């Protein structure tokens, strides 16, 4: 599923005078991401045989790289509430490729993503290296996906899921799909697992289209990246970490998904318009 707006996406023209800024920031981002990726691969040679699925060395490195990227873009991060600790998963609304850097900057998580992301240049390589769980949109593989998520959760990984199943323009919360919530109700997890809803709200720079940081539909990644790099400041993103929900307190995955959606929508800027 891919969400499409009734309105065309914003097309900001990049003025010739801003190209030096774009080139400098692009170079700094490449240095931070691919330099961090090279160090990450070296550390994994030590980490994998010693710690197995646990990543005590590379997970903090991922946070450093993501925070550096936000600083390069001049995207300020405002955090409300406390990220959950211990045996837990997180769910959030999804607006942009920027979500990966934003959420990783705030807390150590492992993303659950559509399989296509693994093949994206740059972001796909980073996602694979940092332990992202890739799933295909195929109901026939639902049981396999659930088993894979259970394994990672039992290993102590805090997985972060985007239950909308697609990204939007950043002005709305789309209805949550319930399929992936099934893994949270596994018998070995249900009594101890908590799920924390997270609201992610972007505020575009003054004078820019309110949707400027959203990335959706068939928007080209390269063009959108250049538009963000060209902004003097990329604006602000607000993260609201809501109180965790005990899985054992809900009867089934639909009730759990609905409770999470309501929490995310309540903390979303503009009231979380219902998307279609």
Instruction: Give all domains of the chain, ordered by start, each with its CATH number.
Output: 16-271 (3.40.1130)
The Cα diameter of the chain in Å comes to: 59
49-89: per-residue pLDDT in tens? 999 888 889 999 999 999 999 999 999 999 999 999 888 99
* Whether pLDDT at 243 is above 60: yes
pLDDT in tens, 164-179: 999 999 999 999 999 8
Would you say residue 123 has pLDDT above 80?
A: no
- Following DSSP, what letter does each residue of 192-205 receive, concatenated? T-EEEEEEEEEEPP
Q: pLDDT-derived band of residue 153, with 50, 70 and 90 as boundaries?
A: confident
**Tokens 């199943």 appear where?**
165
- Tell me, what's the pLDDT at 276? 40
Q: Are the C-beta atoms of 122 and 100 separated by less than 8 Å?
A: no
- Residue 197 tokens, joined: 């809803």
Spell out the residues 6+ positions from residue 40 whose beta carbon is closer than 8 angstroms to its own.
58, 61, 62, 129, 130
State the burial class of residue 205 (Cβ atoms within 10 Å of its Cβ: 0-12, 13-18, 19+). middle
Average of per-residue pLDDT values in the chain: 90
Query: Are 57 and 49 spatial neighbours (Cβ–Cβ below 8 Å)?
Result: no
Task: Average the pLDDT over 133-144 and give the result.
Answer: 74
Show the DSSP H helices in the chain as ranges.
19-51, 58-73, 98-106, 123-129, 142-154, 221-230, 253-266
- Give the pLDDT score at 270: 54
Quote the CA–CA distance of 165 and 264 in Å, as a whole number: 15
Is the model more confident about 1 or about 112?
A: 112
CA dist 267 and 260 (Å) reads 11
Q: Mean pLDDT throughout 38-54?
A: 91
């Amino acid at each position: 599923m891919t969400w499409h707006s009734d309105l065309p996406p914003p097309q900001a023209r990049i003025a010739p005078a801003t190209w030096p800024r774009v080139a400098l920031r692009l170079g700094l981002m490449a240095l931070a991401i691919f330099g961090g990726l090279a160090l990450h691969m070296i550390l994994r040679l030590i980490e994998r045989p010693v710690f197995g699925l646990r990543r005590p060395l590379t997970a903090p490195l991922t946070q450093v790289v993501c925070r550096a990227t936000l600083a390069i873009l001049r995207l300020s991060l405002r955090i409300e509430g406390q990220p959950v600790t211990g045996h837990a998963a997180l769910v959030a609304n999804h607006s942009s490729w920027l979500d990966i850097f934003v959420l990783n900057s705030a807390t150590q998580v492992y993303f659950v993503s559509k399989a296509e992301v693994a093949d994206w240049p740059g972001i796909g390589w980073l996602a694979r290296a940092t332990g992202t769980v890739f799933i295909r949109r195929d109901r026939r593989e639902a049981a396999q996906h659930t088993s894979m998520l259970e394994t990672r959760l039992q290993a102590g990984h805090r997985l972060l899921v985007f239950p909308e199943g697609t990204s939007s323009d950043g002005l709305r919360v789309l209805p949550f799909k319930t399929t992936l919530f099934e893994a949270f109700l596994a018998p070995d997890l249900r009594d101890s697992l908590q799920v924390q809803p997270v609201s992610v709200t972007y505020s575009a720079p003054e004078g820019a289209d309110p949707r400027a940081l959203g990335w959706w539909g068939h928007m080209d990644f390269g063009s959108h990246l250049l538009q963000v790099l060209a902004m003097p400041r990329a604006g602000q993103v607000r993260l609201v970490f809501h109180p965790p929900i005990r899985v054992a307190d809900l009867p089934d995955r639909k009730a759990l998904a609905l409770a999470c959606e309501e929490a995310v929508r309540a903390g979303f800027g503009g009231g979380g318009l219902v998307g279609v």
